[in-house]
Structure 1
């Protein structure tokens, strides 16, 4: 039986959301949490927010993306790593989106390296044939998901690979109730509408050099075709991540 939204609002601790850049907010994740009646606490370091010292009092931890490297010597990134390790040690479910997934891998001892090829836009993903992959991502086979990354994670010890792509073999891994993704299931139409206007030097160079990097027109067309399907995938992923709180 699914709990009522009122009951959730009353008895569930909030979800902690770590945001690195103002342009990379929770988007569809925030919408989904509201639809479930769940409270959440967004800490945006670019806006001057400070990450908490501990995950005490939080039901779960979500880590968003950002254009910086997970290897950059930023205090906020190291604090995010400390919090996610603490959460995993305490059984607080963690989910990482793109940079967030890279931080999970790095904190667990894996390297963050240049991706075999950058992936920007709506790109193919292959879900592996395993019980863990099925639980998180559904039946094995192809998906189309939104990507924006130039680096990628290697697989940490004890992790189970869930999905990959030709351009980036490690697209998602799970360790028990914790999930790291290289792709952006949290995007919505508003966020995508802002991102397609990126004219930074790194993106423009990658667009010239790699078939795995889409231009603005191609990304907009892909949004019309694929966003609803990806949000259905996000529903599944988020429900699996917070299953202990949204079902009895």
Structure 2
């Protein structure tokens, strides 16, 4: 089983590394890919490489050598960088949704609004927001004492397994971690949802086009949906299946008689 896991992780890691490195190289050498969208994609590919490299190689090393020990400093570094790259990805995705909004809703002003200076500032703000959110709980986590067990029930250094083996009081850190997670989720989700709402409002069809769309939707709701409903809601039911089989058996027996 460990051999299969090792091969699977090695393959996915190499594919991820190769794909993201190709994206980075293409954006660097091709002059046509110097727009804001590709600048964000370049940073996203870098974060993907960094995130996977922060945890997967160490796990592959542990499987291949059988050495599952990790020092305290290495564990702390892995925890910090893994969360930093992952959270920064969330903020960058929110920034990319804003870039998509500007490209669709303000195409004539896109180059002016999303210039290189603005893009660099947005990426810088993504990194700074991540550091501001993860630094307080991480700094408190460094003060934890581990006197009961040194066995982490995970293949990477993660927050919850470390808190479970800590002898110190962890309630405050758990609350800070939860609050930070909720804050990250709400901030990024609101940005993405607002951008899509603005795009939907901008591309709302005219009255004539809206009637054409309504006709298509009516066809789907009056033909396709009634056709699928028996399969979705009824024929998947065990009792209905049994009744259907009994009916088929009766028909077969009657035809034989």
TM-score (norm 1): 0.23
TM-score (norm 2): 0.22
Structure with more helix by fraction: 2
Structure with larger Rg: 2
Structure with more strand by fraction: 1
